Amino acid sequence: METRMVMQREQEEQSSQMSHSMQLSSQMKKRTFTSSDEEPSYSDFYPIIPADLMSVKEILDMDNFPRHRTWEILKETLAEEHHRDKWTMFGNEAEKVELDVIRNQRVLRTRVDTMAIRKQAEKKASAHMEYLERLSQKAPDFPIPLRAHTVWEGMTVTLSCTVQGCPPPKVTWFKDGVPLRMSDQPWNYSLQQRFGLNSLEIRRCSPDDAGEYKVIAKSPLGEAMTFGTLLVNSYLGALAGSECSKTSAFKHEQEAQFGNIFLPTWVTEGDSLTLQCTFTSDLLPFQQDVTWFRDGIQLHPSSNVDIRTVEDKASITLKAAHKEHEGVYTARLRTWDETQDHSAFVYVEDASAAVLGGPASPLAVQVSDVNKDYVFLTWQPPSADGASPVEGYYVERYDLRQGEWVRCNVRIQKSCHFPMFGLKEGTLYQFRVRAVNQAGVGRPSKATEPVLTADPLEHTRTMVVKVDRGRTVTITKDELEGQVKAPFPPTNVHACEVSDTYVVLSWTEPEPRGREPLTFFVERSLAGKSSWQLASLDMEVNSPRFSVFDLSKGQQYCFRVRSINKYGVSDPSEPSAPISLGKPQAVPAPPHSVMAIRDTDTSVLLLWQEPKEKDDILGYYLYYSEVGKQDWKTVNNKPVTKTRFTVHGLKNRKEYVFRVKSVSGAGNSSYSDESRPIRVKAAISVPSAPSAIALLLCTGSEMVLGWRGPARNGGDPVRGYYLDQMEGGMKTWREVNVKPAKERQFKVCNLTSGHFYQFRVFAANMAGVGKPSEASEAFLCEKWTMPEPGCPYDVEFREVRDGSLVLLWAAPLYEGRSPVTGYFLEISQGDQSDNWTALNEKPICDTHYKVSGLQAGQTYRLRVSAVNEAGVGCASLPTEPVTAESRPGAKDIEIGVDNDGFIFLGYEADETDDDSKFLWNKNYTEPIDAGRARAETNKDGSVLTFTDPSEEDLGLYTVEMSDNPDQSSSYDFTAEVIALKSGWQVEVSEQGDVRLWLQTESLSDAAELRLIFNEREITSTPHRKINFDKAKGLVEILFDQLSQEDEGSYTAQLKDGRAKNQSTLVFVDQKFRQTLALAHKKRRDHQRKSGPYFQEDLSWRVNEDCELIIKCTVTNTNKDTSLKWFKEGAAVTRVVYDQSSGVSTLTIPQVTKEEAGSFRAVVSDGRGEDVSALELLDDEYDKLLQQLSKQCALSASPLKVQSTAVGFVLYCSLKYYITHMKTSWLFKEKRIDQETRTKPGSNTEKVWIEICNPTEKDKGKYTLEMFDGKETHKRYLDLSGQVFDDALLEHQRLKQEAIAEKNRAKVTKGLPDVVAIMEGKSLCLTCFIDGEPAPEVTWLRNDKEIADQTQFTFTREPKCSTITINNVNMADSGKYSIFVRNQYGSEKVDVTVSVYKHGDKLPAHAVEMGFYA
């Protein structure tokens, strides 16, 4: 019982001590919380102890107390009260537990106190804020209200007001009492609310925008209102928004529409691209914002994109086009009611390969998973492999601070993704990729945008806390975790990227991580083993990413990571799950079922089926080739994501086949099977609408209408036309004909005289009925009785060429009171001009006319008027605008004679197919008589052969293609039917013979020739030979020696069957005299060349070594031929002559003024002599100096920098420098004038400029300009960066060496090599020394310092030192040295002293010295 009482008292004393300790801890200790919202964390093991302390027994008796095995033992120990030793053990354990409880109570109390203080502070701050808010509360008010505005239609107006109130009121806009919704017209209304200023911007004001605008501001304290009136002045005279505007009708100003548009475009990679479209008129104010899109994504101006809209034009320019820029480009124009779009595809073609047969550039390089030292790259493979398949890729990076591209992978990367490790934190990088095949490395891809390496989770470690009056406090976790010392291990180690060559590991940083920077160690082990090895080796891992490349295939690995900071290394993380290399990513399967469908005359719609496994497919590449050529070309260089694509840029009526590749990150698939061949031709569709409906005749109850056919027949000939009519005052159209009209005119019956009628026309073909034409003007049904004729109709173009065209028309159906006698034509320049100019002064009888003298490339319209005796009738409707330029593939009819002697007309066409027909006519309308000519068609064109030509066949013959009237031509078949390839030509041979000749088409063997000279027939003679080659159609007359008797006219009369022709040459006067003189000259030259002669006269040139070479070449020499050179009459002996080649040269190494003069070369032998001269004087000598200066400048080396003790020397080496070449130096594009710090100079081999005492201001680009008299040659040196630093360092080193050399201790003069002295005399040796500071002087004897001061006497002066040897004896012989030194260096000079006895001979080479003491 006493024991129990004692223990109870001890427990009470301990409880009192613990309570006192808790009170002290709550007053002394303080904890820093991460935020005001943090909840205190409690131990999971210990219970929460109340303020009044519980005993150990009570703690052990708690049912919900989490019990440890130790507690059970303690409880069992209490049950055994009869064992005293057990009680002792219990007391010890209980004491430990109580100490732990006290410690946890202290921590808990500290947290409770801190939270109570914080909540009290927050409550007080909140109450203060509420008090301030109550003080600042104010009802809504408009200090600046709305005001009225009056503007013109189309202008922009801004309605503004300012609002005040606390709390901030809600602002609502009204128009005419109705809330204003911005979503109704977002392009027209723009509402901004900022800092109490409320503004409503109304763009392109219209009368509908006029009215009363009201603004209401509401808050719990009340509301305020302001209003203003907007008046819009209409261009029709009404004032919108006022009383009078409500009764006037508003009419929109004519808006702009698309005019000339851009078509599918091809641009080479790296080149600039401009797309432009024009509009029918200047853009209205609300249309100025023309937007551009690529593949549906809006484009905005940037460093590479320039968007402009000026008046009636809009354009977009890509300064450098890349494959990523390929796609559908769209221009969007806003109209009153909607938006109009125009789109076209832009193809970006591969630039030339970096190496022959090399691959094209990859594309779409993307950067993801950016960390401190790691990024992940993906890209798409190129469409063109080159000469061999792509084997892999090289990845390059560009540090914007270093300014150079660095290759990142040694081994080529097979797949299109790559983990980039080892980057610098906080650095801007760009990346690009090159493809590799057997030929080499291809062109680089487009570089990515700069990427900054940084911690992606940095923002999650920052928290912003709001305090009073809108202020904020930013708290970072690093500041709150300052007490964390040794780091915790990371968690969640796993593989985020797995391929067949590498694994990228990822983990989560420890939490908390502490304030100090963290790095990581990565360890690995084979799965199932505990042998861990360092995987990161000596690499510093800063990010929670790490790529491992050196894993073995088929093995499984586990990885774990350790955190490191300056306090130490953490425990390892939990090992990852087993990780192994993945399987190689297989290339995708190719598509199948490739099918081509007709689209337009230059495009084909391509369809295909995607492969079954399509998950990894990025798109498709398309290829095409003409049938039979196997010349495959790439269609797109950016993968197409859909399974259909329109291929543009094909040749009309050519046959093509297509194939497709699948694209994935593993590469491109093999080619699909080829599609079936398809001929490029427009797909059959309904024809376009007819146009230009004209009234040709009216009888009072009938009207005859004519119209212009559709511009496009839809790929199938028009089969007929349908008409609708609408009577004046009605709104319903009524069919006119049920059966189609075959011609472009139709008689409408059963009409009411005096009524107005409108008509419209439909064209129909095999595909169906097209859209109707625009309604005609209202025609009055009234019988025509005017005396003038009606209007011609069916006005069409044929044979459109550069500067000319042929106009066809049909005669008017109504002739008037007398027959039509002719036609007048009028022309208007431009596509809408009404300024008409007459083409002919006298009427034209035919219904066709060739209009010449047009300006090539200009657009015209024409119209025709008929005339009779009463006068000129009304004009036809104007034609469609036509441009005077030859159509692609336009050719002319050619005439010839076949092997059977029949005359034929031939026409070739490039664009034909099985449905094409050639329509031959005479005078454009008359059919060809099958009995007189037959037409034959082949794959290249058509031939019209005359079976029995006569005068009846003479006339104008025309041909056109049935499905393409633009392919047309004509030929005027006259009596001269043998076509000439070439008229008479005159030639003179090298021997002086004269040849007259002409050539026709190939003639038959029955062809005949008559030659008439001055009205008499001639034949061959010995002096004049006549040749006639019928197969070649060649006629020639050969004169062995032309004379005055041969002057006159020559006529060749040809006949081949019934085909005839003749040609005359008038060979008289100046033409004859010039030919005669030329023949005599060539004959003399030929005779001169019978002996030795100069094949090449004397000429000069300057070679690459800046030497002057004077050269001539002689020919037709023999062993007796001699060649001599002279200058100013004196023989030149330095000539080299190679008799085998006949080349003789004189080489002058350096040109001086002495080389100016006259050079002459003479070649002669017994057969004759020839002379060649060269005047190297005046202008020719100046030209020589200019060429020499140019060659000297071309030989100049790049500028180099050489450091000296004085400064920098920038120099350029040349093979030879002459003063004629003017040089000048520039620094930063400004000329350098000679001054104390810059000294230019030159010699025969070098040009330089010396920069003394260089400083940082001398950094920059230096240029040497060398002017040779015509051109300026430049050499550059960028003296900045590392180049400047290295040069400046070398200059400073040399400067220090020069200073050291100047101040170094040295012996300037004094001691001879050998000195002889007689025994008994005294020897005095004197040396002159120099150095700064003054050097120390030491005299040595046999390399040992002289210590004996009795026999040796030393004298020291500022620049001189003397040693005297008193009473010399034989033992004093030896080597004496003076050694001088200071802080900059030392020097030692030796002298040999030879002592001889009296009467001995003086040693050789010795200087006798000495005196008696």
pLDDT at 993 over 80: yes
CA-based angle 1242:1244:1248, to the nearest 5? 25
Confidence of residue 237 (pLDDT cuts 50, 70, 90): very low
Tokens 């076209």 appear where? 344
d(CA 876, CA 743): 18
Structure tokens at 1222: 């003017």
Which residue did the predictor score with more confidence, 356 or 37? Answer: 356
Burial (Cβ within 10 Å: 0-12, 13-18, ≥19) of residue 943? buried
pLDDT of 1413 reads 42
Range with lowest mean pLDDT among 506-515, 809-818, 1344-1353: 1344-1353
Rounded distance between C-alpha atoms, residue 1397 and residue 319, angstroms: 100
Q: Is the per-residue pLDDT at 638 higher than 90?
A: yes
Distance CA 176, CA 169 (A): 22
Q: Within 13 Å, how many C-alpha atoms sit on residue 1003's CB side?
A: 27
| 929, containing H or E segment | none
The letter for the amino acid at 508 is T
Rg of the chain (C-alpha set): 53
Distances (CA, A) of 262 to 266, 279, 343, 974, 990: 12, 12, 8, 46, 58
- Band (pLDDT 50/70/90 cuts) for residue 291 is very high
pTM (whole model) above 0.85: no
Buried b (16+ CB within 10 A) or exposed e, 1192-1222: bbbbbeebebebeebbbbbbbebbbbbebbe
**Predicted pLDDT of residue 583:** 86
pLDDT band at 21 (very low <50, low <70, confident <90, very high): very low
pLDDT of residue 1228: 86
Question: How is residue 410 written in tokens?
Answer: 């040694």
Is the Cα dihedral 978, 979, 985, 991 positive or negative?
negative
| Distance (Å, whole) CA 546 – CA 536 | 8
Q: What is the pLDDT confidence band of residue 235, given thresholds at 50, 70 and 90?
A: low
Across residues 24-42, what is the average pLDDT? 38
Q: Is 91 helix (H, G, I), strand (E, B) or coil?
A: helix
**In this model, does residue 253 exceed pLDDT 70?**
no
| pLDDT tops 70 at residue 1389 | yes
The three-state secondary structure class of 768 is strand
- Express as a percent the part of the chain with pLDDT over 90: 30
Angle at Cα 419 formed by Cα 417 and Cα 421, nearest 5°?
155
Amino acid letter, 569: V
Alpha carbons 724 and 771: distance in angstroms, whole number: 12
Mean pLDDT of the residues in the chain? 83
668 and 748 Cβ atoms separated by less than 8 Å: no
Backbone angles phi, psi at 1045, to 5 degrees: -65, -15
Task: Label residue 495 by pLDDT band (50, 70, 90).
Answer: very high
* Cα–Cα nearest to 1193, from 1128, 1130, 1268: 1268
Distance of CA 202 to the CA centre of its chain: 40
Longest CA pairwise span in the chain (Å): 174
How would you class 639 by CB atoms within 10 Å of its CB: exposed for 0-12, middle for 13-18, buried for 19 or more? buried
Confidence of residue 978 (pLDDT cuts 50, 70, 90): confident
DSSP class of residue 740? Answer: P
> Alpha carbon of 108 to those of 49, 54, 58, 99, 293: distances in Å?
9, 15, 20, 14, 64
* Contact status, residue 1363 vs residue 1354, Cβ threshold 8 Å: yes
277, amino acid identity: C
- Residues 196-231: pLDDT tens digits? 889 998 887 888 888 899 999 998 888 888 989 998
Identity at 586, one-letter amino acid code: A
- pLDDT tens digits along 57-81: 444 455 554 544 444 544 554 455 4
Decide if pLDDT at 880 tops 70: yes
Token match 């002792």: residue?
88
> C-alpha distances in angstroms, 1045 versus 985, 1013, 1017, 1048, 1049?
19, 11, 15, 8, 12
Which of 645-649, 1119-1123, 1338-1342 has the largest mean confidence? 645-649
Q: Name the percent of the chain in helix, strand, coil, to the closest 5.
A: 15, 45, 45
| Residue partners of 1225: CB distance under 8 A and separation at least 6 | 1210, 1231, 1232, 1238, 1240, 1249, 1262, 1263, 1264, 1265
Angle at the Cα of 866 (from 862 to 868), degrees rounded to 5?
Answer: 160
213-233 residues labelled b (16+ CB within 10 A) or e (exposed): bbbbbebeeeebebebebbbb
Q: Is a pLDDT exceeding 70 seen at residue 1175?
A: yes
Q: How far is Cα 590 from Cα 610, in angstroms, rounded to an integer? A: 8
Which one has a higher pLDDT value, 356 or 1152? 356
Q: Is the pLDDT reported for residue 135 higher than 80?
A: no
pLDDT of 49 > 50? The answer is no
- SS (HEC) of 1045-1086: HHCEEEEEEEEECCEEEEEEEEECHHHHHHHHHHHHHHHHHH
- Looking at the predicted structure, is the pLDDT value of residue 382 above 50? yes
Cβ-in-10-Å burial (0-12, 13-18, 19+) of 205 comes to buried
Higher local confidence (pLDDT), 854 or 84: 854
Strands (E), 326-427: 327-334, 339-349, 363-368, 374-380, 392-399, 405-407, 417-421
Edge to edge, what strands does the sheet with 265-268 contain? 265-268, 339-349, 327-334, 291-294, 297-298
pLDDT of residue 1037: 92
pLDDT digits (tens, 9 = 90+) for 753-784: 999 999 999 999 988 899 999 999 999 999 99
pLDDT value for 62: 53
What burial class does residue 913 get, using C-beta atoms within 10 Å of its C-beta: 0-12 exposed, 13-18 middle, 19+ buried? middle
Q: Give tens-digit pLDDT for 553-605.
A: 889 999 999 998 888 888 899 999 999 988 888 889 999 999 999 888 899 99
Q: What is the mean pLDDT of residues 599-613?
A: 91
Q: Which DSSP category does 885 fall into?
A: S
Single out the residue of 187, 317, 313 nearest to residue 260, CA to CA: 313
For residues 897 and 1001, what is the distance between their CA atoms, to the nearest angstrom? Answer: 7
Peptide bond connecting 590 to the previous residue in cis, omega within 30 degrees of 0: no
DSSP 8-state assignment for residue 911:
S
Write out pLDDT tens, residues 1069-1109: 888 988 988 888 887 777 677 788 888 888 998 888 888 89
Higher pLDDT, 436 or 488: 436
Contact 873, 791 (CB under 8 A): yes
CA 1159 from centre of chain: 57
pLDDT at 914: 64
- 787, 806, 786, 804: which is closest to 796 by C-alpha? 806
Measured CA to CA, the distance from residue 592 to residue 607 in angstroms comes to 10
* pLDDT exceeds 80 at position 1189: yes
d(CA 783, CA 752): 11
Q: CB under 8 Å to 631, separation ≥6 — which residues?
A: 625
Please report the beta strands in 485-577, taking only residues with DSSP state E, as ranges in sequence order. 491-498, 503-508, 519-526, 533-534, 545-548, 557-565, 568-569
Q: Which helix (H) or strand (E) holds 668?
A: strand 667-668
Dist CA 299 CA 302 (whole Å):
9
pLDDT at 264: 94
CA distance 801 to 966: 10
Sign (positive or negative) of CA dihedral 1365, 1368, 1369, 1375:
positive
Q: Give the neighbor-by-neighbor strand order of the sheet with 1200-1203.
A: 1200-1203, 1207-1213, 1246-1252, 1238-1242
Tell me the three state secondary structure of residue 273.
strand
- Write the pLDDT tens digit of every residue in 161-194: 999 888 889 999 998 888 887 766 666 788 888 8
* pLDDT of res. 187: 66
Integer angstrom CA distances of residue 1407 from 159, 453, 1401: 115, 81, 13
Closest CA to 1101 of 1110, 1114, 1093: 1110
Q: Is the pLDDT of residue 1111 over 60?
A: yes
pLDDT band of 1353, cuts 50, 70, 90: confident
Q: What pLDDT is stored for residue 938 in this prediction?
A: 77
Residue 702 clears pLDDT 80, i.e. is over it: yes
